[in-house]
Amino acid sequence: MNNRIRKAVIPVAGLGTRFLPATKAIPKEMLTIVDRPVVQHVVDEARAAGIEHFVFITGRNKGVIEDHFDSAFELEATLERRGKVKELEALRADLPLAGATSFTRQQGPLGLGHAVWCARDIIGDDEPFALLLPDMLHHSHGKGCLADMIDAFKKHGGNHIAVAPVPEDQTHQYGIVGVEDVKAKVSKITKMVEKPAKGTAPSNLHITGRYILQPTIFNLLANQEAGAGGEIQLTDSMIALSRLEPFYACRFDGDIYDTGSKIGFLLANIAYGLSRSDLEPELRREIERLLES
Ligand code: G1P
């Protein structure tokens, strides 16, 4: 078993129904937070953690995501001719290495578990991998959520899930975990439940959408039946896997934005804008002016 986390799975097949009409013709993952598409922010987080290969689980009408991660010959030639060196260098710095991306189609909206299962051949059966849900932006004040998880993985091995507290009245919207030590940065998971009924959650720690999983998960996903919401749930297979291998919860201390919701998307734009030195002074002034008016 190779123990380096080299590959990341990024499911991008979702229809974005929470964000219509914006997502009628544009994939939700291509909506921008400041000047970078949502999916680019997630790839940035993965690259900062040392990920070398990106596996996108796509669907119909998502071709533009593939174009985004390719070089754009006409654009680059034009920037070069016009002497726009800074813009050209920025585009080239973002470009993944040739051969470092894979795109495979999910073929139907059968759930997150099914999306992850679609990556089985590309990941293979002898290395653990990262999984990042692009809706959830993890704005870190340190190295990054996945980078922290990989540090914990190097120490403990096994499987890891990023978690963070949510208000009690929101636990039914997420996967929730119970842990041995609620205060620890990294703690063994004792219980997992997908979208628990109100009042039944084992804690207020929700699964935030960053995972490190062993390839054993693919065998479990292969036999899986539909669970909550009639979808093949990743959490159901993780529960089965947790009976075979250790699972750890890694607490994420930064800010999380669900960009699939309108409020989350707007807040992410403001927060990421305020953290940019070229935008912060004017943006802050304008927000204050709006709030006063
Ligand atoms: C998925 C997972 C859930 C997790 C959530 C984070 O749910 O199944 O465990 O808490 O992502 O966004 P979904 O948002 O697809 O309903």
CB-facing half-sphere around the CA of 253: CA atoms within 13 A: 9
Q: How many helices (H) and strands (E) does the chain have?
A: 11, 13
Chain Cα centroid distance, residue 229 = 21
Pocket of ligand 1 (CB under 6 A): 112, 133, 135-136, 174-175, 194, 206-207, 209, 234-235
> Whose CA is closest to atom 11 on ligand 1?
209
Q: Which residues pair with 52 in a beta bridge?
A: none
Band (pLDDT 50/70/90 cuts) for residue 228 is confident
Average pLDDT of the segment spanning 18-36: 95
Band (pLDDT 50/70/90 cuts) for residue 2 is confident
Q: Minimal CA–CA distance to 275: which of 255, 249, 247?
A: 255
- pLDDT above 70 covers what percent of the chain? 100
The 10s digit of each residue's pLDDT in 99-142 is 999 999 999 999 999 999 999 999 999 999 999 999 999 999 89
Quick one: which atom of ligand 1 is closest to the CA of 258? Answer: 12
Find out whether the peptide bond into 196 is cis, omega within 30 degrees of 0: no
pLDDT(9) > 90: yes
> Whose CA is closest to atom 14 on ligand 1?
174
- Residue 175 DSSP SS3: strand
Encoded tokens for 253: 């201390």
Alpha-carbon gap, residue 273 to 283, rounded angstroms: 7
Domain 7-161+206-256 has CATH 3.30.70.270: no
Distance 21 CA to ligand 1 centre (A): 22
Give me the chain's average pLDDT, please.
Answer: 95
Given this model, what pLDDT does residue 224 score? Answer: 80
Band (pLDDT 50/70/90 cuts) for residue 1 is confident
Encoded tokens for 166: 């949510």
